[in-house]
Copies of this chain bind each other. A is one copy, B any other.
Amino acid sequence: MPEVLQPDHHDHREPIDLLLIDGTVVTMDATYRVLPAGAVAVHQGVIVAIGERDELLARYIATEVLDCSGCAVLPGLINGHAHVPMSLLRGMVADYQQLDVWLLGYMFPVESQFVTPEFSHVGALLSCAEMLRGGTTTFVDMYYFEEEVARAADIAGMRAICGQTVLRMPTPDALSYDDGLERARAFIEAWLGHPRITPTIAPHAPYTCTDQIYIEAAALCAHFNVPLITHLSETAREVQESRNLNAATPIGYAHRVGAFDVPCIAAHCVHATEDDLLLMRAHGVGVVPCPSSNLKLASGIAPYQRLLDVGVRTGLGTDGPASNDDQDMFTEIHLAAMLPKGLTGDPTVMPARDALSLATNRGAEAIHMAHQIGSLEVGKRADVIVVRLDTLHGAPRYTYSPETIYSQLVYSTRSADVRDVFVDGVGLLRNHELLTLDVPEIMQRAQQIADQINIFLAGREENLLDKILAIGGVRQAEIFEIQVKAQISEADIARIEAGLHAPDISITKASERMQYDTYFLFHKRERGRIRIREDRRLDPGARLDSKYTITLMEDGSLGDYPFALLLSRARYTAPAEHSTRFYREYFHPDQEIEIEKYRRRWRILYQNKDFAVNIDRLVGHPQPGPFLEIKSRAWGRRDADERAALIGEMLQRWGVDTDNLVKQEYIELER
């Protein structure tokens, strides 16, 4: 129990708020001083002394004396890059999707639908609770409705740099980037001067912003003296595309548009080149790689040891919980220590102490707050954590060398070992209990939001229409169609072609094409079927590029004429902007069938009604045809009857044997 001492009027000791004694004090100061049984004195939010326990007990009388025996006393950990409201999306998506499916198919649709001020606030509270439990005292955020994140961090008592995200596209909180910039300005003006929360602006990344956004953001940062937060060089593809587009790496581009003229916090930099590193060192840019996220999203492994060797300000971050999935700085520190060793083949790189520095003293430099936090030094803010060392998984302990404490903290210590957390000298976690946040209430609110998203996603998994609508660009059409298909002979073809040129038939269009179709079929037929078509015109003078479409064909009701099929179904078609692989991952078909055909098509008018006549040969199919198809869209039942009769006349004229009509679709033909 904390001792509470009453001041004694004859006592010449200086009164202070808090004295932490008997812990292994790991200062992370410039000389990396470690006091095996030291003491830290805190008063009015500031560290006033560090020294041997007896010395400080003699000098100070503290309102609370906290026994830290069996524990380490460290600077609070700094999470240099996060998207804290995204804890609400933790575990939402199976991990095995490509980034584009993940972003476009799940993240963006969910965010555009569900991110509200409440979402940002509740997610931020959840993350603050998790981070405090794990010893994080400062975080750097980038999200939407950022005033709600700031409000949550303030309630929690944490320290934070809150970046209002700006993109050139519409976002959940801004219809245009002008709105976004205005929103950021208002946010900064409202929160500037807060003792623990720094408001700022965060241009998302070069590939989602414009030169102008960066220029205006940098101007805002210069005016208000706040740091600019952005993502740079996270993936190899991003770097390649930037070289193509901007004739520069993303980091080179950011420099060009003024991002480095102000204090800058650059997340990731996984694919920074040697020149990028030198540029960032020259401009004092803080780099924040995110080991877990960079692995999970397959971006790669940042050049940790090179960053340190070159002398770039380097921190560490968790990124958003949807790509981690938690916000545990001990995990990130552990990875930062291990990954460079495995990658370089040199076990002497990134010693434990250096890994820990990325989340403490170096981390503070990376976020431009080293004057205030990051180490236990007299005059710095009292952001202090007490971490248990006398654990089962940390036993036994070795002390013959001062270096062993770093080894234990990095390789054996877990976030659950954090016992107490102080920010600005105020206790936020005491004896593993959170004081400022109601965890059950936060979890309940979080689950309520997740349940809504869960319903949305569950419905969408079933409903292919919603899925195809979610990815955009869809045109809807109801089809009421007569269709005849017949297997024909080469001799038939000559007669049909001749018949098409009869005087009472006018040909309005004629074309030759190859059609490559991939059908996605589902066990539940009522869900419909999806066809991805590449349509390539072969006739001279036609457009050379293939046309790609994706169509959802709902299972239709069928009627029957003696020789034709009556189909009634809805059809939704969109330009296919993604690869078949993307659609496969997105729609999860139960079965796939490919049909390749050579099609000669004529659009004709006969008796003032329009028909499509196709002569198809299937490629690589056991029943290659050729096939004759005559199709006609009707606007009603009576119109359908009339068209059916006309189709009958054409078949008779052209000598097509109506006893051998094919009543199946091509994909239903036996292979």
Task: Write the residues of chain A forming the contact surface with B, with a CB cutoff of 8 angstroms.
Answer: 87-88, 90-99, 102, 126, 129-130, 133, 236, 292, 294-301, 324-328, 331, 334, 337-339, 341-342, 344-349, 351-352, 390, 392-401, 403-404, 406-408, 410-412, 414, 416, 439, 443, 446-447, 449-451, 453-455, 457-458, 461, 585
Which secondary structure dominates chain A's binding surface? helix
Check B300 against A126 for contact (C-beta < 8 Å): no
Contacts of A453 in B (CB 8 A): 398
Question: Across chains A and B, which 10 residue pairs bring their CB atoms closest together, nearest first?
Answer: A396-B450, A295-B342, A325-B411, A400-B458, A96-B351, A295-B338, A298-B347, A94-B403, A298-B341, A396-B446
Listed A/B pairs (19) with beta-carbon separation below 8 Å: A88-B396, A90-B394, A91-B397, A91-B404, A295-B339, A295-B342, A296-B338, A296-B411, A297-B341, A298-B342, A300-B342, A301-B342, A325-B411, A328-B393, A348-B585, A396-B450, A398-B450, A398-B454, A400-B461
**Number of chain copies forming the complex:** 2
Given A94-B351, A325-B407, 6 extra CB contacts under 8 A: A90-B394, A95-B411, A298-B349, A398-B450, A398-B457, A401-B458
Q: What is the minimal beta-carbon distance from A178 to any residue of chain B, in angstroms?
A: 34
Question: Of all chain B residues, which has the CB nearest A294?
Answer: B342
Check A92 against B392 for contact (C-beta < 8 Å): no
Q: What is the minimal beta-carbon distance from A582 to any residue of chain B, in angstroms?
A: 12
A87, A400, A454 — which one has the most chain B CB atoms within 10 A of its CB?
A400
A413 to B414, CA, bound (A): 13
Check A398 against B342 for contact (C-beta < 8 Å): no
A414 to B341, CA, bound (A): 24
Contacts of A102 in B (CB 8 A): 347
Q: What is the minimal beta-carbon distance from A134 to any residue of chain B, in angstroms?
A: 8
Contacts of A300 in B (CB 8 A): 342, 345
Check A295 against B341 for contact (C-beta < 8 Å): yes
Supposing A295-B342, A300-B342, A394-B90 touch, asked if A98 and B129 sit within 8 A by C-beta, the answer is no
Contacts of A410 in B (CB 8 A): 95
A90, A396, A397 — which one has the most chain B CB atoms within 10 A of its CB?
A396
Question: Of all chain B residues, which has the CB nearest A341?
Answer: B298
Q: What is the minimal beta-carbon distance from A499 to any residue of chain B, in angstroms?
A: 52
Contacts of A392 in B (CB 8 A): 126, 129-130, 133, 439, 443
Check A408 against B97 for contact (C-beta < 8 Å): no
Check B461 against A298 for contact (C-beta < 8 Å): no
Question: Of all chain B residues, which has the CB nearest A94?
Answer: B403
Check B347 against A395 for contact (C-beta < 8 Å): no
